[in-house]
Structure 1
């Protein structure tokens, strides 16, 4: 890191600071593009990369990846309009927001000076000019990439981000904003009226009473990420903490669950805390594919497991009812 990100707070900003406790699909989508190639450092996204690579090699998906990589380089700026304020309308609502980006915003965000690039591509020029065809191509690429790379792991992303967001809220209640800020990551420093952290370049944001939205992210690694334009509603994206499993607690839960639903189904329920396909589940607990499928069906019929299709794959995860059963033992 060669710079510092500094957020300037006022008393009013403290009152308007909030933490997201649900993942933002567009931030996760955009930041995941950075991890399509190994980074060399210990990589918690290696398993995700192995899983999505075959799907992204298909012709339409490969075209989408190529387009997105031009807009979202591994290092450097990407356009702010790709990550608007979170919406409650899910990924479809988020794509609608991108599709309706004003031409003035497109021109500003796509300028080579803003993106710190020598020149824009033909596609970039068309997007900056507000032409319909490049925007249609972009939203189509975002949709194909989301379906292939993000939707299959969305349950896992949600579990990690929700756990992180909820832990931040507890820290806020227990220790106040200063205590929560100090735990955002090892490089964060809270020195009223500034929140500072290491950053690829020097960047200062004066909140001016607007507050800041803190966004824990599964795909954010290392340095936090923020918007380029200081006039936009401030957002600070930072790495969500990985879930820490307690093997002893899981063994106790498994023992008690076995008395209720049997050992095989108990092992499946514990394993599906992390969403898995049938073949992944069978490999994890060491049983045949047919037996795993049969047992998952029984748990699904009882309301403890949900199965969702993502392209050619079906992934299973624990429902709220299933989690309640796990947590009660």
Structure 2
């Protein structure tokens, strides 16, 4: 194991920012599809995604992304652009499409130490201007077909992580924040030291650092660190094991007898922060019913709410956690 060092100025510390990147999740999800044994937590999603990928009309259009996002292969940085708060997929697709040909070539060549380029990678290297639209279309199709149906669930988990980390940064400062972000990171003076698969000494040069949680890596922080790109890092999201859980109350749930089945169902779901829209989808209720239940639970001190950009996230309070532990027999 090697060590990478990221050197910070005061401007870089002030420029640390957290966001969710739908493009990163879309691209990195290909690793899980290609190597499910290493992503067992995602098996419910992988099963559906593989069925989708076998459809001829999807397979043909997604092939460029499949070839570039192979297991054990570095991703070209332009495919995982640094995210800003509240960015939408369409904006990130436009950003990828606007990548200058010279940057496409540079980023492709930077991946070759890990593995030779695929046939599409070699073709893109030779004709970046002509073939980049095919790659952008591949990312768009894969997002629409495989990610978008489950994006509310993924987004809720990612947004909750951003809110949690932002609070840590505000309360504890940058040094403690990075050490809590992942066990492989340490703060030393004016730099972050990262256990890595290779050695780098990288100066952020006042550009700050964009960080985004991801559901598609569990073991490492993945860095986008090229001199001509905005510095960025993707780190494993918290509570990943809850992503595909069904959290409906069990039959005979004593909590449902006390607060009603609808409100009990929401409390079981709110171990992880979620929006009203997410809860309506997961619980099979109308948004109006969810809003009424959340209002009553909030007034009773059982759920908290916090605004994160354009979203309002709800989560159980400690009082609700006590009730849930009792109802689950814990």
1:102 to 88, 100, 103: 100
Change (3 A) 1:225 1:38: same
Choose from 190, 195, 217 the match for 2:187: 190
The verdict on how the C-alpha distance between 1:186 and 1:128 changes in structure 2, with shifts beyond 3 A counting, is same
Return 65-74 or 192-201, whichever deviates more.
65-74
1:64/1:126 Cα in 2 relative to 1: closer, same or farther (>3 Å)?
same
TM norm structure 2: 0.74
For residue 289 of structure 2, the aligned residue among 302, 307, 318 is: 302
Contact conserved, 1:79 with 1:115, CA < 8 A, in 2?
no
Task: Spell out, residue by residue over 1:249-274, the C-alpha distance to the aligned partner (whole angstroms, 9 max, x if none).
Answer: x99xx8777666x32x3344346558
Number of the residue aligned with 2:77:
80
1:26 correspondence with 2:13: no
- Residue of structure 2 equivalent to 1:219: 216
1:213 to partner: Cα distance: 1.5
Q: Tell me if 1:155 matches 2:152.
A: yes
* Cα displacement string for residues 33-80 of structure 1 (whole angstroms, at most 9, x for unaligned residues): 111134545732222212322222211222344321211121122211
Call closer, same or farther: CA 1:11–1:77 in 2, change over 3 Å: same
Q: How many residues align?
A: 286
Unpaired runs of 5+ residues, structure 1, are: 282-295, 306-319
Determine the C-alpha separation between the residues in 2 that align with 1:276 and 1:39: 28
Instruction: Give the RMSD, CA atoms, in angstroms.
Output: 3.4
Match of 1:236 in 2: 233
Match of 1:195, SS? strand
For 2:42, which of 45, 55, 77 is the aligned residue?
Answer: 45
Partner of 1:316: none
Local SS of the residue matching 2:34:
coil
Superposition deviation, residue 160 in structure 1: 1.4
For structure 2, the residue ranges without an aligned partner over 5 or more in a row are 243-248, 273-277, 293-306, 321-330
Once residues 120 and 39 of structure 2 are traced to their aligned partners in structure 1, the CA distance between those partners, rounded to angstroms, is 36
The SS at the match of 1:110 is helix
What TM-score, normalized to structure 1? Answer: 0.74
